[in-house]
Amino acid sequence: MSKHAREFYLGIDVGGTKILAALATIDGSIIARKRMPTPRNTKAEHVVAAIADIIAVLLSEHNLAPRNLSAIGLAIPGTVAPNEGKIICTPNMPLSGVVISPLLEKRFKVPVLIGNDVNLGTLGEVWRGAARAASSVVGIFVGTGIGAGVVLNGHLIPGHRNAAGEIGHMVMQPGGPLCGCGNRGCLEALASRTAIERDIRNALKNGRKSVITRLADNDLTVIKSSVIKRALQQEDELVTEIIRKASETLGYACLNVRHLFDPELIILGGGVIEACGDFILPIVQQIVGLHSMPGSSDNDVISMSHLGDDAVVLGAVALAKAHHHPDEHPTPRPAPHHLSCRNNTAYLDRKPVQEPLALLPNGNIAKVNLKRKNATTFLTRKTLLHLCTSQCLTLVVGAATPAHFSLTPKARAAAEKHRISVSILTIEQACQAYHTSPSSVLLLSP
């Protein structure tokens, strides 16, 4: 590949057993992949060195230099503080507490963004996979553990501590089996591969027979998803029974998720689903379909991941791209500002709004200059076009007195020409309108 000015991104999925890297273009086409085993039983610096290695090797194999990269996205199996580039906690890896972005940025001179792997997997499916046409999506990934990512109106929901989507620890059976988190009866303790393996081993210990003993060559310390799949294909009674029970629990978890978020799609992915989805999906769909609220009885809300292993690396690319092109979707947005209204006064993050300002769809706040003439406040053409870009064509104005707010004739003509819809409302009405349509621009003129 020649060195040219095109924008490339690297997405890296730092897993417990393997590190997977993908070199991609700005539109998410993967040009090359590289896979390396994750160093085991070792210190953080060796894992960081392995990540640096995979970046360097992938670039050199394709005749690229770090300067050909626009940004790198890292998917971490744990909680992260994205603004500091810091890994907070990785239960299955020695990376807790590592401030990783600055380390890699120093070496490669490229911005390095980090996110949780399951959140990024969901973002990947929204960007390039099964959820391309949807804007509200929950991705649930079933492997050794169970995690989820929540995208609502195109925005990844990070949660207060960047720990939203820990669906694996929703309690589905109070007092049930012990979970790795210390609690009992979590979804993960009932339907993950770890739980399925435990149930198979216990049943065999209690004298049940299964083809899985032979399929796994008598070594049941780790039962791979592919082995479980083969036992299902052979209609093994024990494995079918255990997977059916796990699928039902997963189905009820999906039903809870549906009631909580009302998403357009729930995407199921991860190793267990990749291997046994044909068996699991119909059970989940049936439970979600049977118990839906009136008027939402369709069961095609559940779909399989389309991207498989690429979901997470592409989500990492989407994260890196969002850093470079903050105005495009899908982007994990900053936490939204808290907007409320009392007595026709707007409160932003609980402070009264006393000067004109605008809330932009990307979550930013912009100061706004308005023209005042006699008792009337005017929005000029320049300010209108500054606020409403080609991606956002709806402006909601909340004015202290709507009758005394107007567009200048030039602004009115520009709105018509660019098909920008402008509504002038009371502050109270505008706040309400903004809450139902967060993709619009809200201009407050107190």
Contact footprint for Zn ion (CB under 5 A): 169, 179, 181, 183, 186
Residue with smaller CB distance to Zn ion, 12 or 179: 179
| All residues at 6 or more sequence positions from 386 whose CB lies less than 8 Å from its CB, including other chains | 366
- Secondary structure of residue 148 in the 3-state scheme: strand
DSSP state, 190? H
Query: What DSSP string runs through 355-387?
Result: S-EEE-TTS-EEE---EEETTEEEE-HHHHHHH
Query: Per-residue DSSP letters for 26-39?
Result: TT--EEEEEEEEPP
Shortest approach of Zn ion to residue 169 CB, angstroms? 4
CA angle 53, 57, 63 (to 5 degrees): 145
Q: Which amino acid is at 313?
A: V
Q: Which amino acid is at 19?
A: I
Instruction: With beta carbons less than 8 A apart as the criterion, state whether 213 and 204 touch.
Output: yes
CB of 188 to Zn ion, least distance (A): 5
- Nearest alpha-carbon partner for 14 in 41, 48, 43: 48
179 versus 384: smaller Cβ distance to Zn ion: 179
Quote the Cα angle for 256-262-268, to 5°.
65
CB of 276 to Zn ion, least distance (A): 22
Based on CB atoms, which residue is closest to Zn ion, 76 or 186?
186
- Least distance in Å: CB of 183 to Zn ion? 5
CB 161, min distance to Zn ion, A: 16
Smallest gap, in angstroms, from Cβ of residue 166 to Zn ion? 8
In terms of CB distance, is 193 or 229 closer to Zn ion? 193
Tokens matching residue 310 = 């690429």
Half-sphere exposure for 380 (CA within 13 Å, toward CB) = 9
| Residue 198 vs 324, nearer CB to Zn ion | 198
Closest approach, Cβ 272 to Zn ion, in A, equals 17
- Nearer to Zn ion by Cβ, of 39 and 176: the residue is 176
Nearer Cβ to Zn ion, position 161 or 373? Answer: 161
Nearer to Zn ion, 193 or 321 (CB): 193
For residue 268, the minimal CB distance to Zn ion (Å) is: 19
Looking at the Cβ atoms of 169 and 333, the one nearer to Zn ion is: 169
* Least Å from the CB of residue 190 to Zn ion: 10
Specify whether the CB–CB gap between 384 and 413 falls below 8 A: no
86 forms bridges with which residues in the sheet? 81, 99
Q: Of 191 and 346, which has the nearer Cβ to Zn ion?
A: 191
Measured CA distances, 165 to 92, 120, 384 (Å): 18, 11, 38
Distance CA 97, CA 153 (A): 32
In terms of CB distance, is 145 or 271 closer to Zn ion?
145
Bin 350: left if φ > 0, else alpha if -120 < ψ < 50, else beta.
left
Residue closest to 33 by CA, chosen among 57, 69, 16: 57
Q: Identify the CA nearest to 101 among candidates 73, 78, 127.
A: 73
Task: Report, in Å, the least distance between residue 246 CB and Zn ion.
Answer: 15
- Kindly state the tokens that stand for 20: 């997977």
Amino acid identity of 373?
A: K
Burial classification of residue 347, based on how many CB atoms lie within 10 Å of its CB (0-12 exposed, 13-18 middle, 19 or more buried): middle
Task: Tell the smallest beta-carbon distance from residue 171 to Zn ion (Å).
Answer: 8
